[in-house]
Each structure stands twice: as C-alpha cells, then as structure tokens.
Amino acid sequence: MPVKRGGWRIRKHTPEKTGVLDAPSHLHSIFDISGYKEPALTRSFGAVLRKDKTLLRKFLSSALEKPFSISKNLFERTTFYFEKSSTEGRTDIEIVNEKIHVIVESKIGTNEVKFKQANKYAKKLNKSSSKTKCFIFLTEIGNLKVDSQLTRNYPNIKFSNLSWETTLKLLTERKHITVDLVKEYGNYLLGGMKMKIHDIDLWAVVVRGKEEENFNRHNFYKHNKKHLPIFIGKREWDKNLKKVVVRELRPVLKIHDRDSEKGKKNGNNYVYDLGARLILKEPIIKKFSQQSAISVDFKTI
C-alpha cells in the first residue's frame, strides 16, 4: 500500500542491501536502479532535467516565478553537476551557464534545509558570474517559508521552495521525453575509457609522524571527517621543484565508521583501508588543501 507522507505519496519497496545503493529487488523502470534515498531521487530528477530543455525551462520558470527562456545552444552549453564538492560543502545539483546559476538542495520526509547549510551554499552562489542566481529548496513539507535572513543577506539571489510533487506535475505536463537508451548506454559503457577522477574521489592528504607508519606499513589512513574517495594521495615536498606534489596513489578498499571496532581503536576516527601503491609516471602538482578535490586523467596513472 502507498504510504502518504506530507501530502506526497511514496510507494513502499522492499530494498536489497547492496552496500552501495538502497536498491529494490524488482525493477519497474530505469529509475529503480538508483534506489529511493534522498541522493538517488535527486540525481534521477537531475538526469531528466539534463535531457529535456522544455522541462528545465518550466522548472526554472516555476522557481523564478516568471517566464524563463533557454535556447537550444544555451541548453547544450549548460553544465549539470551532481553532489559537487567545494570548500563550502557538497551541493545536490548545480546547473550552470552564463545566463543562470542554480543550486538545488533537496530533502525528503519532514527534513528541511537548515539556515547554516543554506547560508554556506548561498555564499558560494553569490560569487557566481552568471547573470541570474537561483537557490531552490526541493522538499516534501519542509521549508514552507524561506528564511528572511537569507533574502536580506543575498538580495541578488532568488530563493524558492518547490515540492517533489511539483516535479511530478512538471513531468506529467511533458508527457513524453525522448531519450535514446541505446546511445545513452553505449556512452555510459564506453565512458570508462575517458573517465576522470573528480570531486573528492582523489583525496590529497598530509601524513606525519606515526601516521606515516600506519600509511606505509599498516596500510590505513585515519581522519576525523568522512569522505568517499576512490584514491588517497600522499602529499610530499619536492626539494627540486620546491612545490608540494603527489607521487603515489593508494586505492581505498574500505571505510570504517568512527564507531566501528577499528574506528574506536584509532581514536574514534574514520579509518580508510588502503590497497597497493600506484606510482605515477609524473607527479601531480597542484595547490593542495587538506580536503583537496583534484581531477586527473586515468592515463596519467
């Protein structure tokens, strides 16, 4: 039976625990693959927006509360980011072109976008060079009213609260969105050949003292914050270049939560189990911070 939550009907599914996704044991559509948790719902809606210019126009018009036009050329130049990391945090969806920059922060159930989180992302959005800036709270029943302090602090940003029910209404109005699944799957399957490590997937860290022994001999790294990297790179000072570089990468095999046995044993930190060293042909030279998010082609490794 459907479960009614906040005026928005959500169908109950029995999930299969895969370790990666909260995936259903039965598939009715391509969207079921992603699961039903907040990031999955957000990414699925964002993927549909990315495929339909008219839907994007209607979505933005609804958020801006006025007609918004977008040409085919501008749509093709529009960049869509999902869970993009920065010093301000990780945004759910960002839609960017020279005309508009949108941040979408989504919540499900009774959750709402708290002021502290919204203020951080608004600060980031305020720096954008796009002509129009829009911050959308995509919720079920939370954020019925946007905090007035946000509108005072950022008068150049349009703040808007939309419901998940609105997204379904917009999609229903479209009726048909044509997507070539054969082409999409082909691009997805072959994408690994051109794949890039991005966002926080490659985490460049400082390793000192006893931590160096853990890193080099016991093959783990601990930290008080949780990230989801594919690789951890050790930062080193190069005397000749007089720069900080990363010369080797360690694949992350498993992440232990701070309340796990290994986490408690290591000072209630998150513990990252590391695989064998991958020595780079050329060092990665960048301006690193402790939470460095860097991009590198696989052919570099």
> In terms of domains, do 201 and 174 share one?
no
pLDDT of residue 68: 94
Q: Residues 206-228: what's their mean pLDDT?
A: 89
**Structure-model confidence comparison of residues 85 and 243, the more confident one:** 243
Of 74-78, 96-100, 184-188, 261-265, the poorest mean pLDDT is in 184-188
Looking at 5-112, list the stretches that DSSP marks H as alpha helix, in order from N- to C-terminal side.
Answer: 38-51, 53-64, 72-76
Question: ∠ at Cα 138 (135, 143), nearest 5°?
Answer: 85
Find how far residue 260's CA is from the centre of its chain: 25
Q: Are residues 126 and 204 in the same domain?
A: no
Q: Model confidence over 102-143: pLDDT tens digits?
A: 999 988 888 888 899 899 999 999 999 999 999 999 988 767
The residue that leads in pLDDT, 35 or 151, is: 151
End residue of a domain, out of 179, 208, 229: 179
Task: For residue 299, count CB atoms less than 10 angstroms from its CB and return exposed for 0-12, middle for 13-18, buried for 19 or more.
Answer: exposed
Domain that holds residue 129: 3-179
The better pLDDT of the pair 189, 93 is held by 93
Q: Which pLDDT does position 6 carry in this prediction?
A: 42
Backbone angles phi, psi at 201, to 5 degrees: -60, -30
User: What does the alpha-carbon distance between residue 226 and residue 235 come to, in Å, rounded to a whole number?
Assistant: 19
- The pLDDT value recorded for residue 286 is 77
Residues 212 and 290 in one domain: yes
Q: Is residue 64 part of a domain?
A: yes
pLDDT of residue 1 exceeding 70, the answer is no
Residue 80 has pLDDT above 50, yes or no: yes
In a domain, 235, yes or no: yes
- Residue 57: which of 36, 71, 73, 46 has the closest Cα? 71
Confidence band, pLDDT 50/70/90 cuts, at residue 39: low
DSSP-derived secondary structure letter, 140: S
- pLDDT band, very low/low/confident/very high, at 8 (cuts 50, 70, 90): very low
| Residue 264 confidence (pLDDT) above 60 | yes
H or E stretch including 70?
none
- Residue 51 is part of a domain; what is its CATH number? 3.40.1350
For residue 184, being part of any structural domain is answered with: no
For residue 2, is pLDDT > 60?
no
Least confident stretch, 6-20, 24-38, 47-61: 6-20
Instruction: Please give the Cα distance from 168 to 11 (Å, whole number).
Output: 14
pTM for the complete prediction? Answer: 0.54
Q: Is the pLDDT of residue 203 over 90?
A: no
In a domain, 55, yes or no: yes
What percentage of the chain carries pLDDT values higher than 70? 74
Confidence band, pLDDT 50/70/90 cuts, at residue 227: confident
Task: Tell me if 29 is assigned to some domain.
Answer: yes
Domain tally for the chain?
2
164 and 263 in a single domain? The answer is no
